[in-house]
């Protein structure tokens, strides 16, 4: 019944987790969900109010622009200037997305022909590989190893794959490992892309979720990056707007135009009222972002302390709201996640769900209160691990 492209896909990781979680809840288990990275705090009120006002404006009830409202793209460009020092043309170098997942999934359709290669990190957000497969391309895995600080080794990519490579995905601050990258690495990526004629897609969804005075650099801030790539920014995690579906791509105008051509044929753009709310989020006070980072940092510190007391060697992340932890001796990632769920009522994401190089790790999301995280740690302390 289904197409080969659908039949070839593995079960989507987070859908499988939701099924397991629901099964435990049906048994009456009090589940503490540290699995999917969905903020537990509400969208800030000033953003909600902006949306409510816009919804009542009948001019927002028509089809939106495929590329996004001019005012939203201008707000995105201004935000990039204020936060990253980038000078962008809102008309040609900024594109509105219906969430960054939509952008990631559609980008290969603009640049990949059947048989072409896309360089995809592993472990990683599954859609990099899935979007490539949907376009008929071949994902070539770039392992992210702890001994390399979870950065890909560009020199290790075989020549025959480079000859076919058209696209490269990467993501720092990183999901799931919470690793960070510096400008030196970004400079290496720019030179690599130039040498091999590769389009670079930097998924920067966690750019503002930082701790310990760390500020995540932009890939596009590196000389030459605008010649080879684009960067995706999401409002989902930064402003607790996961359900609103709003993001934007910025960068090279020809790459932006290619993504826009796909979008104009497969969707009708983001709802204007949501874009008005996005303008409010990007243009007004960023104190709500700072306040959320304080909350996540407190949760991070509580979870790190508890995991270390259990004997797990966990490094404190400087960004994202994830903790990437090695599983205890004697377990693989699925087995340990199953133990946590069935014996402690805790949902965590097995590392192998993000790719084969995620085996041996488990990801915790800091999306529950300090009290619930303390309870999760106490439950884990009662397990025989």
Cα gap 179→121, rounded to integer Å: 13
Per-residue pLDDT band at 309 (split at 50, 70, 90): very high
102 vs 268: CA distance, rounded Å:
12
For 342-365, give one letter per residue: b (16+ CB within 10 A) or e: eebbbbbbbbbbbbebbbebbbbb
- Return the DSSP state at 57: -
Q: How far apart are CA 155 and CA 298, in angstroms?
A: 38
- The confidence score (pLDDT) of residue 226 equals 98
3-state helix, strand, coil in the chain (%, to 5): 45, 15, 40
Section 17-46 average pLDDT: 89
What percent of the chain is modeled with pLDDT above 70?
A: 99
Q: What is the pTM of this model?
A: 0.95
User: Does the pLDDT value for residue 325 go beyond 80?
Assistant: yes
Cis peptide bond N-terminal to 123, omega within 30: yes
Give the per-residue SS3 of 237-299: CCCCCHHHCCEEEEECHHHHHHHHHHHHHHCCCCCHHHHHHHHHHHHCCCHHHHHHHHHHHHH
Per-residue pLDDT for 16 more than 80?
no
Q: What is the pLDDT of residue 12?
A: 67
Contact present, 280 and 47 (Cβ < 8 Å): yes
> Helices 287-309 and 370-381 sit at what angle, rounded to 10 degrees?
10
pLDDT at 364 over 80: yes
pLDDT recorded at residue 100: 96
- 94: pLDDT strictly greater than 80: yes
User: Average pLDDT in the 281-305 region?
Assistant: 98
Sign of the Cα pseudo-torsion (293, 297, 300, 306, in order): negative
- Give residue-wise pLDDT tens across range 97-133: 999 999 999 999 999 999 999 999 999 999 999 999 9
Helix axes 333-344, 13-26, angle to 10 degrees: 20
Residue with tokens 């699995």: 35
Q: Per the structure block, which two tokens stand in for 143?
A: 């392992």
**pLDDT at residue 376 tops 70:** yes
207-266 tens-digit pLDDT: 999 999 999 999 999 999 999 999 999 999 999 999 999 999 999 999 999 999 999 999
Mean pLDDT of the 190-194 span: 98
Q: What is the DSSP string of 103-152?
A: HHHHHHHHH--TT-EEEEEES--THHHHHHHHTT-EEEEEE--GGGTT--
Structure tokens at 20: 């397991």
Q: What per-residue confidence (pLDDT) applies to 356?
A: 96
Helix (H, G, I), strand (E, B), or coil: what is residue 35? coil
Query: Given this model, what pLDDT does residue 13 score?
Result: 66
Q: Report yes or no: 368 and 40 within 8 Å, Cβ to Cβ.
A: yes
Instruction: Please report the pLDDT score of residue 36 as a whole number.
Output: 85
Distances (CA, A) of 380 to 83, 310, 336, 352: 40, 8, 11, 21
Asked whether 327 and 361 are in contact (CB, 8 A), the reply is: yes
pLDDT tens string 125-158: 999 999 999 999 999 999 999 999 999 999 999 9
The pLDDT of residue 14 is above 80 = no
Q: Please name each of the domains of the chain with its CATH number.
A: 4-42+287-381 (3.90.1150.10), 45-283 (3.40.640.10)
Nearest CA-CA partner of 299 in 287, 316, 278, 285 = 316
Pairing of strands 247-251, 94-97: antiparallel
Q: Report the distance separating Cα 181 and Cα 101, nearest Å.
A: 21
């Amino acid at each position: 019944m289904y197409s080969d492209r659908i039949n070839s896909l593995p079960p989507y990781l987070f859908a499988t987790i939701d099924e397991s979680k629901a099964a435990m809840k049906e048994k009456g288990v009090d589940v503490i969900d540290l699995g999917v990275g969905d903020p537990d705090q509400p969208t800030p009120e000033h953003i909600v109010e902006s949306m409510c006002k816009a919804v009542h404006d009948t001019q927002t009830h028509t089809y939106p622009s495929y590329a996004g409202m001019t005012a939203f793209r201008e707000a995105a460009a201004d935000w990039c200037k204020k936060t990253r020092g980038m000078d962008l043309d809102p008309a040609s170098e900024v594109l509105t997305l219906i969430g960054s997942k939509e952008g990631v999934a559609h980008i290969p359709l603009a640049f990949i022909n059947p048989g072409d290669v896309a360089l995809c990190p592993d472990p990683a957000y599954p859609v990099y590989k899935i979007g490539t497969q949907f376009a008929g391309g071949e994902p070539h895995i770039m392992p992210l190893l702890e001994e390399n600080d979870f950065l890909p080794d560009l020199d290790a990519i075989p020549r025959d794959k480079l000859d076919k490579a058209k696209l490269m995905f990467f993501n720092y601050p990183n999901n799931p490992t919470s690793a960070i990258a510096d400008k030196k690495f970004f400079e290496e990526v720019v030179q690599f892309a130039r040498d091999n004629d590769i389009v670079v897609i930097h998924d920067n969804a966690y750019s503002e979720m930082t701790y310990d005075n760390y500020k995540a650099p932009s890939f596009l801030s590196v000389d030459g990056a605008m010649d080879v790539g684009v960067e995706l920014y999401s409002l989902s995690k930064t402003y607790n707007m996961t359900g609103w579906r709003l993001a934007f791509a910025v960068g090279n105008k020809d790459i932006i135009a290619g993504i826009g051509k796909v979008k104009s044929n497969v969707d009708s753009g983001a709802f204007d009222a949501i874009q008005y709310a996005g303008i409010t989020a990007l243009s007004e006070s960023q104190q709500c972002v700072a306040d959320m980072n304080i909350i996540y940092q407190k949760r991070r510190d509580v979870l790190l302390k508890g995991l270390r007391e259990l004997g797990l060697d966990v490094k404190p992340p400087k960004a994202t709201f994830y903790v990437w932890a090695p599983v205890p001796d004697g377990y693989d990632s699925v087995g340990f996640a199953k133990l946590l769920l069935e014996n402690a009522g805790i949902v965590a994401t097995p590392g192998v769900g993000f790719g084969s190089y995620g085996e041996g790790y488990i990801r915790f999301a800091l999306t529950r209160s300090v009290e619930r995280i303390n309870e999760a740690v106490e439950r884990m302390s009662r397990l025989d691990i």
